[in-house]
Amino acid sequence: MSQPSPSPDASRQDPPRISGRAAARPRPRPGATVAALAFAGIAVAVMQTLLVPVIKDLPALLGAAPADATWVMTSTLLAGAVATPVMGRLGDLYGKRRMLLLSLAVMVCGSLVCAFTGSLAVMIVGRALQGFAMGAIPLGIGIMRDELPRERLGSAMALMSSSIGVGGGLALPGAALVAQHADWHALFLCAAGLGLLSIVLTLLCVPEPALRAEGRFDLPGALGLTLGLVCLLLPVTKGGEWGWGSGRTLGLFAAAVLILLGWGWSELRLSAPLVDLRTSARREVLLTNLASVMVGVAFYAISLVLPQLLQLPESTGYGLGRSMVVAGLCVAPLGLTMMLTAPLYARIAAKRGPKVSLLLGLGVIAVGYGAGLGLLDTPWQTVLISVLVGGGIGLAYSSLPALIIAAVPPEDTGAANGLNSLMRSIGTSVSSAVIGMVLAHMTVVSGGTTVPSLGAVRTSFVIAACAVLGGMVLAAFLPGAAKAARLTLVTASAARADEALIPDGFSGFRGRVRSARGTPMARATVTLIDRRGRQAGLTTTDAEGRYALPAFVPGPYVVACRAGGHTPRAAAVSYEGGGATCVVPLVLAPLRDRRDRAEPVGSG
């Protein structure tokens, strides 16, 4: 293990583009950053479920066939599935906050396009632009990973991951109220307003991380992924209309397989791919991602089915004949229970590990959908179903980031979480296509209007329940709490930075952060950056200025430190592996004193 080098070579390690000028700006408080990012996630979720209260009326409103009108929903989710890895990679290269603002701006533009059109084709384009904002979720997680102390990262990422469900559930009654008392285009004006408010909060409360990745944007990879997903989801949506055995359907499925295989082969050959598929090959990551697809399917199914069932006329014999507002209020507990399960998740994960909380969440979802097969006679029964499914999804969504973090070394968490977000987006896209197809093709005529049949509702619940059971099978093969506990022990020790508490087998970097006067710097943020410019670790110093950051892969690193009122420092270090520990002391000078750039970092 070599000692830290004080030379300007630290800048050649590239990634930490930290300047005294940038540091001079007051940094927002972590709580404000988390709140602003969570609001951005909620705004994106509101956009996703915006049209659910009027989904049964879309064919008449747009003058289109029911099967064609489903693309108003599917295009949004498809665009989100593509935007997730694309915006995540652009954020690594050019700034996550900048790309977050771009995502929200595109969402506002899409909302305005939809607000002033009645054409199906234009509406699909506007909804696709709205779906582009789904990239805000991995960008928000990336900003949290770069800016928050490690001890706050888990709960913040769980909040960001579940914000899509919280916003989606809470948006239903609000959207129904607007749609019932105003022209339905006003829904999109409300979405634009939320997007603008989120942009303002991001500008005020979210800092731009100083880290940048090397390489160029993989444009062929982005185009290949887009084409592959379109070829996959188009026959899923149109298969019932074209015929599942038709040449068009089978040809598109075959094209999707060939394109995605070619895309994957190309990604594996790149040093800076759009999606790091090597990370996904690990058993723990692969199983978690597949389980994420199943959770995505289960989440979107209930958002599509229950509002329609509640609004169907009682003359059908199974419809509940409620207004859009009442339907939205009955489904609102879906989001509320997702929000309330966050503390419960923290307790379960702390005692049993995220695998247990994921299995428990999936089990509760399965019970909810199973109950839905028989409890569809009164509105209170739909509320019960929403509570059960929402609570289960809240536990499941909160568990996924923790499982990813526990399964990969810190330097791989960015790529792994980006891929996990993509898989959840694919799950919701597939759910929209499949459930939309079921509701469009299993119909009855009531009062001269074609509406989904009771069989369509139950079939949709069966599909969601089967997806959940498949997720439980996959989650059962995830590693137990033992491995997660070992990693959590190292993380907790690093966060407290007390050398006496570092467990046997710890290897990496530790040291003290002092001011130029020699006093300990408490609550300073210390970041470990790998050779590719990605964050490999993040922690804060304790009351004595001590920190500890585990390292997993040998090679050159940069240890960067910042604290309010002081100029950041960065030291080039090298980790040789073998369980060794490198001591890296850091000295921070006041902002008014610029000599710290030339001041060497001592060792010892």
The answer to the question of residue 234 being in a domain is yes
Residues 67, 209 share a domain = yes
Residues 291, 317 share a domain = yes
CA distances from 460 to 392, 444, 604 (A): 18, 16, 64
Domain ends where: 448, 479, 510? 479
Q: How far apart are CA 265 and CA 85, in angstroms?
A: 17
- Indicate if the pLDDT at residue 408 is higher than 80: no
Residues 400, 537 share a domain = no
The answer to the question of residue 59 being in a domain is yes
The CATH code of the domain that includes 567 is 2.60.40.1120
Average pLDDT over residues 132-150: 76
- Indicate if the pLDDT at residue 505 is higher than 60: no
Per-residue pLDDT tens over the stretch 532-571: 777 778 888 887 888 888 877 777 888 888 887 788 888 8
Confidence band for 11, pLDDT divided at 50, 70 and 90: very low
First to last CA, the chain: 13
The per-residue pLDDT for 6 is 40
Residues 287, 424 share a domain = yes
Domain ends where: 203, 236, 269? 269
Give the pair of three-digit tokens for residue 83: 């935007």
Give the pair of three-digit tokens for residue 485: 């506990």
Q: Using the structure block, give the residue that is written with the tokens 């789904």.
A: 134
Q: Are 573 and 597 in contact (CB under 8 A)?
A: no
% of residues, the chain, pLDDT over 70 = 76
Q: Please give the residue range of the domain that contains residue 584.
A: 2-23+501-597
Average pLDDT over residues 526-530: 85
Geometric angle at alpha carbon 125, from 123 and 130, rounded to 5°: 90
The per-residue pLDDT for 333 is 79
Q: Are 16 and 210 in contact (CB under 8 A)?
A: yes
Residues 314, 361 share a domain = yes
Q: Which string of DSSP letters, residue by residue, matches 349-386?
A: HHHH-HHHHHHHHHHHHHHHHHHHTT--SSHHHHHHHH
The per-residue pLDDT for 414 is 54
Go through the chain and tell me how many residues it has.
Answer: 604
Average pLDDT over residues 175-191: 78
Q: Which string of DSSP letters, residue by residue, matches 379-442?
A: HHHHHHHHHHHHHHHHHHHHHHHHHHHHHS-GGGHHHHHHHHHHHHHHHHHHHHHHHHHHHHHS
The per-residue pLDDT for 497 is 38
Residues 251, 204 share a domain = no
What is the torsional sign of CA 358, 359, 365, 369? positive
Number of folded domains that form the chain: 3
> pLDDT averaged over the chain?
75
- Indicate if the pLDDT at residue 516 is higher than 50: yes
Least confident of 42-46, 143-147, 495-499: 495-499
Query: Cβ–Cβ contacts within 10 Å for residue 302, how many?
Result: 29
